[in-house]
Amino acid sequence: MTTPTEGPTEGPTESRTESRTESHCPYCSLQCGMRLVGVRTLEVQPWEEFPVNEGGLCRKGWTAASLLKHRERLTMPLVRKDGELQPATWDEALDLIAERITALQAEHGPDAIAIFGGGGLTNEKAYSLGKFARVALRTAQIDYNGRWCMSSAASAGTRAFGVDRGLPFPLADVERTDVLVLVGSNIAETAPPAARHLTRVRENGGHVVVIDPRRTATADKADTFVQPVPGTDLALALGLLHLVIANGHVDEDYVANRTTGFEEVRRSVAAWWPERVERVTGVPTHELQELARLLGTSQKVMILTARGAEQHATGSDTVLAWINLALALGMPGKEYAGYGCLTGQGNGQGGREHGQKADQLPGYRMIDDPAAREHVAGVWGVSPDSIPGKGRSAYELLMALGTEAGPKAMLVFGSNIIVSAPNVDRVAEHLEALDLLVVCDFVLSETAARADVVLPVTQWAEETGTMTNLEGRVILRQQAIRPPQGVRSDLDVIADLAERVSSPVKFETDPETVFAELGRASAGGKADYSGITYDRIRDEMGVFWGSPRMFADSFATPDGRARCHVVDHRGAAEQPDEDYPVHLTTGRVLAQYQSGAQTRRVRELTDDGIFVELHPMLAGRVGAVDGEAVTVTTRRGSLTAPARVVATIRPDTVFVPFHWVGANRLTNDALDPASRMPEFKVCAASVSA
């Protein structure tokens, strides 16, 4: 059996006497560097030398250490007895899980067990989890919450460029572009230290364009703000490309030498003249023409998409449309220009590269590729035939739980499904139908509260591991404090369970050893970590996988050319009608992070609870008063919360933040056909006072 992690590791940037550890924030994909100072309790201090944030942190980062000693911290496993979660020993809890897994697999086969991972897990945990599913459990049923985050951009990036890396250039390149276009990104609130680049673009004489149905804090920093109807970013991109072509601003040499498929795309956008685009998107033709001219006459244009453009049933096609525009302008691969995706979760990038996705093996290898299976099987010490095939995507996996043909048990690592899944009341019914639900978490999250077994695990500063930030920079979170007694790391839990279910191979628990194995498993893959070591990461303040600036000479396709894809506007899966006359969109607020399991427990962070943002015209029509309750209803459920009446949102749209239980009762589970991303960002709703 493995033992709980003991004490901080030693490293060149840390000494026990100074008790100063260079590490990174536990939250978003910037992975801001921070110094953690102290022995029994930690204080967060700036780490100015780390280039991504240069010492700056947002309020979430500054207050992150307060969670380590939180009074709601779980320090003993909990097992449900007589309907109540009750304290148990680790042996009791792990024996129970292993016995139930063994019995369920004997009765229903290996796929009776599902694994649900998270985009906040370290690379080492994501890798071990994928291996645990395929080798120890032999189940194909593994996916993770990153499917709901960046999968549309991942799918589009792979199809267009042959590789998926959030930003194919360092974040700091942003400030040296001429025109920065942010499509569906509110970085001023979601990643505030990155917003300094917007200011610097403007100081350098550049131009910032923000496209969003809400005038956000990011839009306030823009030179041009475009406010389309939710779910119409794709039509907007088609319309802009139409005008770029009509204005003669296509970089024809680039298109001829570095792309394929552009002629079909050129023909396909002929039907997207400005008046038609205005009718679909609500963006006036003169704004379209001004923006197209700006893009077509600038030397360096950088287009960045985020969840606002991507979390749609047409998310992949939307990203492809913006990539087509960037390619027509000749930008990808050019210095300080191109296309990128601003990833969301802390390890949104690495989490999808090393095997917790239903269709992938480590190194961004595809699980149905015989050569990939053979390579990874060799590293794992198993036969390629023993590795299961492709499993269900995240939402489809949840919908299969407890059904005749679906898994009967699920183990959840690093995810709070009951807050973050779409159409969540339906998801909750499936969780209820399981024979066994196991949740690893550090507090009793809304999902853990429904589990049969809860395992208390370490938090970021209590363990060491790597993350890959939005630029593809692999960084090292170093352990800075001992975990509370009774708490174990996810790597320990995985290794211990593997042993108890008689895994054919042993699982390592030392993060550096796991990382070295991950490097071997990823060697030769698209995301190849084989040359990266903990020492290099420390010495170089993070190491990019691949080149820091990709695509300068060629793309990662067989012929080195980028692919243009014909895509067309289909609109949101649910359009407003008589019963549900407005658009509902969801998103984040500054003081909270994702499902809020962490940030809602930090006293210093504002927690005003869920609210409904709506325009004064809409408020007047339905009789809503600022601060008083309004009810938002969709075909899936309803929610009552205080109204926030603001002129910054479109009059045909309401906004609800998703950090609290409620928003995702309303959201639509229509899936993107390519990425299997649910349509979180738009559905039809009604509002009443």
| CB of 221 vs ligand SF4, minimal distance in Å | 16
Give the integer Cα–Cα distance in Å for 81 and 99.
Answer: 16
Q: Closest by alpha carbon to 32, among 20, 42, 46, 21?
A: 46
Residue among 157 and 346 whose Cβ is closer to ligand SF4: 346
Residue among 62 and 680 whose Cβ is closer to ligand SF4: 62
Give the integer Cα–Cα distance in Å for 16 and 9.
Answer: 9
Residue window 36-55: x/- pattern of binding to ligand SF4, with contact defined by CB under 6 A = -----------------x--
Out of 8, 30, 142, 614, the residue judged to bind ligand SF4 by CB under 6 A: 30
| CB of 623 vs ligand SF4, minimal distance in Å | 38
Q: Does 27 bind ligand SF4 (CB under 6 A)?
A: yes
Q: Closest by alpha carbon to 72, among 603, 467, 536?
A: 603
| CB of 57 vs ligand SF4, minimal distance in Å | 4
Contact stretch for ligand SF4 (CB under 6 A) within 20-28, 206-214, 263-271, 495-503: 20-28
Contact stretch for ligand SF4 (CB under 6 A) within 67-75, 188-196, 209-217, 520-528: 188-196
Residue among 189 and 672 whose Cβ is closer to ligand SF4: 189
Give the integer Cα–Cα distance in Å for 578 and 585.
Answer: 18
386: number of Cβ within 10 Å: 13
| CB of 669 vs ligand SF4, minimal distance in Å | 28
Residue among 27 and 116 whose Cβ is closer to ligand SF4: 27
Strand partners, 683: 584
| CB of 349 vs ligand SF4, minimal distance in Å | 13
**Element of type H or E holding 646:** none
Task: List Cα–Cα distances, 57 to 34, 47, 194, 506, 528, in angstroms.
Answer: 8, 10, 9, 39, 30
Task: Say if strands 113-117 and 142-144 run parallel, antiparallel, or are unpaired.
Answer: parallel
Task: List Cα–Cα distances, 462 to 68, 318, 514, in angstroms.
Answer: 8, 40, 17
Q: Does 330 bind ligand SF4 (CB under 6 A)?
A: no
Q: Does 174 bind ligand SF4 (CB under 6 A)?
A: no
| CB of 143 vs ligand SF4, minimal distance in Å | 24
| CB of 684 vs ligand SF4, minimal distance in Å | 32
Under rule CB under 6 A, how many of the chain's residues touch ligand SF4? 14
Strand partners, 585: 655
Residue among 122 and 158 whose Cβ is closer to ligand SF4: 122
Strands (E), 50-191: 78-81, 84-87, 113-117, 142-144, 179-183
| CB of 61 vs ligand SF4, minimal distance in Å | 2
Looking only at residues 207 through 266 of this chain, which bind ligand SF4 when binding is defined by CB under 6 A?
A: none
Q: Closest by alpha carbon to 141, among 107, 108, 188?
A: 108
Residue among 121 and 295 whose Cβ is closer to ligand SF4: 121
Q: For residues 463 and 515, is the Cβ–Cβ distance under 8 A?
A: no
| CB of 35 vs ligand SF4, minimal distance in Å | 13
Residue among 120 and 274 whose Cβ is closer to ligand SF4: 120
Q: Does 192 bind ligand SF4 (CB under 6 A)?
A: yes
The HSE-up count of residue 650 (CA atoms within 13 Å, CB side) is 20
Amino acid type, 513 = T
Q: Does 32 bind ligand SF4 (CB under 6 A)?
A: yes
Determine the 3-state secondary structure of 635 from DSSP: coil
* DSSP, res 11: B
Q: Closest by alpha carbon to 1, among 98, 68, 71?
A: 98
Q: For residues 238 and 244, is the Cβ–Cβ distance under 8 A?
A: no
Determine the 3-state secondary structure of 173 from DSSP: helix
DSSP letters spanning 593-612: -TT-TTGGG-TTS------E
Contact stretch for ligand SF4 (CB under 6 A) within 22-30, 206-214, 383-391, 628-636: 22-30
Contact stretch for ligand SF4 (CB under 6 A) within 27-35, 80-88, 452-460, 516-524: 27-35
Contact stretch for ligand SF4 (CB under 6 A) within 23-31, 517-525, 550-558, 677-685: 23-31
Residue among 154 and 470 whose Cβ is closer to ligand SF4: 470
Give the integer Cα–Cα distance in Å for 29 and 32.
Answer: 8
Residue among 4 and 55 whose Cβ is closer to ligand SF4: 55
Residue among 37 and 523 whose Cβ is closer to ligand SF4: 37
| CB of 591 vs ligand SF4, minimal distance in Å | 10
Q: Closest by alpha carbon to 313, among 681, 678, 683, 578?
A: 678
| CB of 309 vs ligand SF4, minimal distance in Å | 20
Give the integer Cα–Cα distance in Å for 120 and 343.
Answer: 12
| CB of 218 vs ligand SF4, minimal distance in Å | 13
| CB of 596 vs ligand SF4, minimal distance in Å | 13
Residue among 207 and 221 whose Cβ is closer to ligand SF4: 221
Q: Does 191 bind ligand SF4 (CB under 6 A)?
A: yes
Give the integer Cα–Cα distance in Å for 344 and 346.
Answer: 7
Task: List Cα–Cα distances, 553 to 215, 254, 558, 663, in angstroms.
Answer: 38, 11, 13, 45
Which token pair is 521? Answer: 């498993």
Residue window 55-74: x/- pattern of binding to ligand SF4, with contact defined by CB under 6 A = --xx-xx-------------
Contact stretch for ligand SF4 (CB under 6 A) within 30-38, 110-118, 443-451, 517-525: 30-38
Residue among 61 and 118 whose Cβ is closer to ligand SF4: 61
| CB of 347 vs ligand SF4, minimal distance in Å | 11
* Length of the chain measured in residues: 689
Closest chain position to ligand SF4 (CB):
61
| CB of 515 vs ligand SF4, minimal distance in Å | 21
Out of 25, 174, 255, 397, the residue judged to bind ligand SF4 by CB under 6 A: 25
Give the integer Cα–Cα distance in Å for 400 and 391.
Answer: 11
| CB of 58 vs ligand SF4, minimal distance in Å | 3
Out of 2, 21, 31, 594, the residue judged to bind ligand SF4 by CB under 6 A: 31
Looking only at residues 94 through 113 of this chain, which bind ligand SF4 when binding is defined by CB under 6 A?
A: none
Which residues lie below 8 Å from residue 84, measured CB to CB, with a gap of 6+? none
Contact stretch for ligand SF4 (CB under 6 A) within 158-166, 187-195, 446-454, 497-505: 187-195
Residue among 32 and 656 whose Cβ is closer to ligand SF4: 32
Q: Closest by alpha carbon to 462, among 166, 75, 59, 17?
A: 75
Residue among 161 and 544 whose Cβ is closer to ligand SF4: 544
Contact stretch for ligand SF4 (CB under 6 A) within 21-29, 299-307, 397-405, 458-466: 21-29
Give the integer Cα–Cα distance in Å for 468 and 353.
Answer: 10
Which residues lie below 8 Å from residue 439, measured CB to CB, with a gap of 6+? 411, 412, 445, 447, 448, 451, 453, 454, 455
Characterize 613-635 residue by residue with b for buried, 16 or more Cβ atoms within 10 angstroms of its Cβ, and e for exposed.
Answer: bbbeebbeebebeeeeebebbbe
Return residues touching ligand SF4 (CB under 6 A).
25, 27-28, 30-32, 53, 57-58, 60-61, 191-193
